[in-house]
Amino acid sequence: MSNLPDALLTGYRNFMNGRYAAETEHYKSLAREGQSPETLVIACCDSRAAPETIFDAGPGELFVLRNVANLVPPYSPDGEFHSTSAALEFAVQALKVKNIVVMGHGRCGGIRAALDPNATPLSPGDFIGKWMSLVGPAAETVSGNDMMTKSERQTALERISIRYSIANLRTFPCVQILEQKGRLEIFGAWFDISAGELWVMDRTTGDFERTGTV
């Protein structure tokens, strides 16, 4: 009996024989010199929207922070356990990343739950409801719009929550100061799982535009 699920052990062997074998020197130098990723990606935990896969990133390239629905809470140094804020602080202050990308995605379960509080997984747990209440007011406004279809409401809230998280990023003093000095740039993106489309937020208007692939 193995100590890990077979699929993981098989995947690990493939990794060692494939990518690690091909990039051994790169891994060794990253181990020697430490990491210096230029970009922090804040993404959802969703298994279908892994930033390293979507951006075809190698080891050491992306510092990835994933949570339910890729949300950034407002800056609130209140002595509680803030995993997202801690990772953000580390990326900005210790690693000195140059870019932050908040990347949402289509068919997000967290966003779906926020739009329908009676649906799982929002109802039973101790934490998801509280976490998703970050976008509660926006969810309420979008839910009340009968002119939109259910999927339009879902996409709308996915994109609104990206803009909301970006606004919250700027409540962190370290982010605000570095952005003002021109040493940090903030971006928004939205990934559509079914078609593989990446939509990038226009930083002036907040609109999302599909990015080309050639």
Annotated binding site for Zn(2+): 44, 46, 105, 108
Instruction: Work out how close the CB of 128 gets to Zn ion at its nearest, in angstroms, rounded to a whole number.
Output: 11
Instruction: Work out how close the CB of 173 gets to Zn ion at its nearest, in angstroms, rounded to a whole number.
Output: 28
| Binding residues with Zn ion: total (CB under 5 A) | 4
The side-by-side arrangement of strands in the sheet containing 208-210 is 62-67, 39-44, 99-105, 185-192, 197-201, 208-210
Stretch that binds Zn ion, among 56-64, 80-88, 102-110, 144-152 (CB under 5 A): 102-110
Check: CB of residue 57 under 8 Å from CB of residue 51. Answer: yes
* Residues 6+ away with beta carbon under 8 Å from 34: none
Beta bridge partners of 42: 65, 102
DSSP strand pairing (99-105 vs 62-67): unpaired
Q: What is the DSSP letter of 98?
A: S
Instruction: Work out how close the CB of 200 gets to Zn ion at its nearest, in angstroms, rounded to a whole number.
Output: 18
Q: Which of 42, 92, 100, 108 binds Zn ion (CB under 5 A)?
A: 108
Give the whole-angstrom CA distance, residue 114 versus residue 106.
Answer: 14
Give me 207's structure tokens.
């609109």
Q: Which of 39, 40, 46, 190 binds Zn ion (CB under 5 A)?
A: 46
Q: Is 61 in the site for Zn ion (CB under 5 A)?
A: no
Nearer to Zn ion, 62 or 92 (CB): 62
Give the dihedral sign, CA 204/161/72/189: negative
Instruction: Work out how close the CB of 185 gets to Zn ion at its nearest, in angstroms, rounded to a whole number.
Output: 24
Nearer to Zn ion, 108 or 166 (CB): 108
Residues that bind Zn ion (CB under 5 A): 44, 46, 108, 110
